[in-house]
Structure 1
Amino acid sequence: MNKREVGSRQEEHACEYLKAKGYEILDQNFFSRFGEIDIIAKQKDTIVFAEVKYRSDTRISFPEEAVGYKKRRRIIKTADYYRIKKSIPEDNPCRFDVLAITEEGIVHYTNAFGYDGKS
């Protein structure tokens, strides 16, 4: 199985996890010229932009460590574009989550960026 297939499988696993937690999946693999967002979901009134990272081996690094400053900035810009494209009001709450997947399971970091989507 190649990296893309593994990534797709883990993103589906993350979607199932979120659905089981009561989230509604709005979009997957949303692309813009700024970047990509793996999962866009809704939890109550909050739009959740989720990045999925998987590592089969955590001896070198943990999956959440792959979401650095540049990656966060690209995700935020892409989320801004998504909100404009989908006519989501500025005052609609949103947040950025990271789902770190390893062989041991999923660790869900809510509000992982400490940013609420407002400038």
Structure 2
Amino acid sequence: MGNLSTGKIGEDMAAAYLEAAGYRIVERNYRCPLGEIDLIALEGDTLVFVEVKSRRSENYGLPQLAVGPGKQRRISKISLYYLQSRRLDPASVRFDVVAILLRPEKTSIELIKDAFELAYGR
């Protein structure tokens, strides 16, 4: 199974997991000129931008470790674009990461709420 299908399976699992946890998914695979955000959801009054990282093994480290400073800056810029283009001024914004390990013996899902703050810079 390739990376594309691993990502799609992970995003579907993450969306179902978040919905079961009380989130309401408002966008999937939001794309703009700056890039893509996997999921945008509401949890209460909080608008949550969610990065989903899925892996089939830990050979390249834990999935959540792939959301480093560069990825955080990119997601931050895309989130600002989203808010501006939709003319939204939510009460609260948060960045979550859903890390999924798709192992044959057991799949694990970890939700990291407030994984990082709005990141500026290069």
Match of 1:111 in 2: 114
**Secondary structure of 1:111 counterpart:** strand
Q: Which deviates more, 62-71 or 103-112?
A: 103-112
1:65 paired to 2:65 = yes
Give the TM-score normalised by the residue count of structure 2: 0.88
Match of 2:100 in 1: 101
Answer 1 or 2: which has greater strand percent.
2
**Residue-by-residue CA offset, 1:55-79 (whole Å, 9 max, x unaligned):** 1111430001100111000000000
Aligned length: 115
Considering only aligned residues, what root-mean-square deviation do their CA atoms show, in Å?
1.5
Distance 1:60 1:4, change over 3 A: closer
Unpaired segments ≥5 residues, structure 1: none
- Runs of 4+ in structure 1 deviating by more than 2 angstroms, as ranges, are none
Question: For 2:91 and 2:86, how far apart are their aligned partners in 1?
Answer: 12
Question: For 1:70 and 1:33, how far apart are their aligned partners in 2?
Answer: 17
Residue type of the alignment partner of 1:106: I
| Residues 82-97 of structure 1 mapped to structure 2, 5 A cutoff | 82-89=82-89, 92-97=91-96
Unpaired segments ≥5 residues, structure 2: none
Question: For 2:44 and 2:55, how far apart are their aligned partners in 1?
Answer: 30
Match of 1:78 in 2: 78
Question: For 1:7 and 1:15, how far apart are their aligned partners in 2?
Answer: 12
Question: For 1:115 and 1:107, how far apart are their aligned partners in 2?
Answer: 21
